[in-house]
Amino acid sequence: MIFRRRKPILLGSLVMVLVAAVFALPVFGELGNENDFDDPSAEAVTAREAVVAATGTYAAPQLVALVRLDASADSAFGLGRIRTVARAMEHPGVASVVAYQPGGDRRLVSKDGRSTYLLATYREDERGATDAIEARLRALPFVTLGGGAIAAPQVGDQVSADILRAELIAFPILFLLSLLVFRSAVSALLPLAVGGATILLTFLAIRLINTHVNPMSIYALNLVNGLGLGLAIDYSLFMVSRFREELAAGRSREEALAVTMRTAGHVVLFSAVTVAAALAALIVFRQRFLYSMGVGGALCALIAAGVSLTLLPALLGALGERVNAGGPRRWKDAIAREAAAERTGFWYRHSRRVMRRPLPFALGAAALLIALGLPFLRIEFTGVDASVLPKDQSARIVDDAIKAEFPPSETSPVYVAVRPGVSEAELERFAARLPAPVSPPEISAGRIDLIAPGPALGAAAKDLVRDARAVEAPFDFWVGGQTAQFVDQQASLADHLPVALALLCATTLLILFVMLRSIVLPVKALVMNLLTICAAFGLMVLVFQDGHLDWLFRFDSQGAIESSQPVLLFAVAFGLSTDYGVFLLGRIKELHDGGMSNEEAVALGLQRTGRIVTFAAALMVVALGCFVTASVIFIKQLGFGVAVAVLIDATIVRALLVPALMRLLGDWNWWVPRPIGRLLGA
């Protein structure tokens, strides 16, 4: 049907892509990142909303001005600079400015006495305060601006720049790799065309969801960019390779396309549904960062499959034999030689070698993956603050300076919000019972501020939150602040993780069962995925928590991993590992259903998919691995983790575990209970 209607499909696809190109790109300016890591039902969020409702101001300072005094803070020169900056920070959208006064709070003065910082707390209607204050202070070289009002847009700008840089790096490399695998310029361009169309259409879908359904996080665009490109190229590789294979077998354009759709197209569809289901499991989490990744990733997989099963077949039908154009004659002869040497090829011989000693290979591969994963047992978690930015960003400069040069401060206090109507006497009695490890609690309108010792995300600050929440009071109160948000984030992730894992595993098992008509193969695929992810987790801890290879990937270790990254990496890596398993097992099943023995189907299936899957994995590593060039550290962590998982899956798992376990299980691989088999027609 696609062959006969290829012209209308091509025209319709072109119109859709052009529309997407026009209307999708504004998405970069419309998505935000404020409160992306909060659970809306968390106590810290309730505390923040209570303060805003009671005072009409933000619960914490939004703007921090770091001032280098070049003199003592109590000198006339130093005080003059402080007053100059304080006046510049006055604005109708600013509720208050906290600045050092002679004999005042020494926490606002650096340990050497030659620097200070000022805090601006915004009204709920900030009226463009940040832009106005930035414009006034831009000419003062001794002032550096930070805080949430500065960090959030800097992160957003960095994400956009990272995406552009990743594309500029990825596309030329992907084209060269595609040229190597296809040995034809025309065939090499097809996956990139499908990838570009997938990204634009997914961006458009995200923009529509953000506008009409639910706010989305800007970080989803990173995942869509890498995953969309990688999946579209993978699907194109399998479709184009099978089409060329059928043409080489002497079929006509229409026949070759029909066989391609029936075989590779069937596998692409199941692969996309599997990847989409894995990523959709993230939707159960309440954090906008995670559910945006889930929605964006699932859409990306389905759109990649949709483009690969409509636009790409129409292009193949229109091109026919010309799909092999644009390559030297010796390249085309090499393709023919490879096809004729199936039972002497590397993957055939290698799989036969593994299947002669399956138990040692299986145990050795599993032991290696478990050993690589052991560092994950000592993982430490951290949250998102200005430290995720590069060192040259002003928000990071201010954050680093306050942590290193100043006493424990009010830039990120733990605060207690109380319900309206509590008397001042009750508030004072309650404040006296609250923990005060640094200084006495500070009471203001409807809230009590507590200063934590050490970093806002450190153990002492988290203990302060838990201790404050354990205090009893005759009225409702809520503990908030950056530390409380981090504590609540970890609790929320832990609460929703079992449901997400159950959904992910159940849907994957069901989809693979329907596709493979086997009980054993889906369970085996699940176990291999878990081993792959275990190893990827361990390597991520070694690199990003311990700081190994920081010189290569150009980052400063935070000594911990951002809390949501293991959850996100699990979903993405699980989906992609299943993706490659579907392609390989689908080909093995096709051969086994054709009458081959289990061992011969495995060996020949690996041989026929080996080269393509290897290049597909390499292309995916490039597409997603380019995230390691990102400046935002948790995006860098995601890129590294996914790239490592894909590499492990394409090498250790596919080359050793798959043939070894297929040989050990023998005909049990294809077992299915008879009643279910009759129901499915197996």
**Given this model, what pLDDT does residue 201 score?**
95
Average pLDDT over residues 286-292: 93
Per-residue pLDDT at 308 exceeds 80 = yes
Question: Residue 115 contacts by C-beta under 8 Å, 6 or more apart in sequence?
Answer: 66, 67, 68, 69, 109, 401, 405, 406
Phi and psi, residue 127, nearest 5°? 55, 45
398 falls in which pLDDT band (50, 70, 90)? very high
122 falls in which pLDDT band (50, 70, 90)? very high
pLDDT in tens, 618-651: 888 888 888 888 888 888 998 899 999 999 998 8
pLDDT above 70: percentage of residues in the chain:
96
Which tokens is 546 given?
């311990």
Residues paired with 64 in a beta bridge: 119, 146
- Looking only at the bridges linking them, the beta strands covering 381-382 and 115-122 are unpaired
**Given this model, what pLDDT does residue 334 score?**
54
**Given this model, what pLDDT does residue 410 score?**
62
pLDDT in tens, 555-590: 888 889 999 999 999 999 998 888 878 888 888 888
Tell me which of 602 and 326 has the higher pLDDT.
602
Burial 340-360 (b: 16+ CB within 10 A, else e): eeeeebebbebbbebbeebee
Helix axes 311-319, 220-248, angle to 10 degrees: 30
CATH number of 405-486: 3.30.70
Q: Of 230-244, 350-364, 439-453, 636-650, which gets the smallest average pLDDT?
A: 439-453
**Given this model, what pLDDT does residue 583 score?**
80
CATH 1.20.1640.10 placement within the chain: 6-25+153-384+487-680
pLDDT in tens, 483-526: 999 999 999 999 999 999 999 999 989 888 888 888 889 999 99
Tell me which of 18 and 60 has the higher pLDDT.
18
pTM of the predicted protein model: 0.87
Average pLDDT over residues 472-486: 90
**Given this model, what pLDDT does residue 595 score?**
84
CB 671 within 8 A of CB 522: no
CATH number of 62-146: 3.30.70.1320
Distances (CA, A) of 396 to 122, 137, 146, 327, 380: 21, 18, 7, 50, 21
**Given this model, what pLDDT does residue 680 score?**
59
Average pLDDT over residues 653-681: 82
Average pLDDT over residues 259-275: 89
**Given this model, what pLDDT does residue 36 score?**
85
397 falls in which pLDDT band (50, 70, 90)? very high
Mean pLDDT, the chain, rounded, equals 87
**Given this model, what pLDDT does residue 544 score?**
94
pLDDT in tens, 62-115: 899 999 998 888 888 989 999 999 999 999 999 999 999 887 788 889 988 899
Residues paired with 562 in a beta bridge: 382
- Top-tier CATH class for 6-25+153-384+487-680: mainly alpha
Expressed in angstroms, the distance from the first to the final Cα of the chain is 27
Segment holding 215, helix H or strand E? none
**Given this model, what pLDDT does residue 332 score?**
54
Which tokens is 127 given?
């009226």
Place of tokens 């009458």: 595
| Radius of gyration for the chain, computed over Cα atoms and rounded to the nearest angstrom | 29
549 torsion bin: left (phi>0), alpha (psi -120 to 50), beta (else)? left
CATH 3.30.70.1320 placement within the chain: 62-146
30 falls in which pLDDT band (50, 70, 90)? confident
Neighbouring C-beta atoms of residue 38, cutoff 10 Å: 20
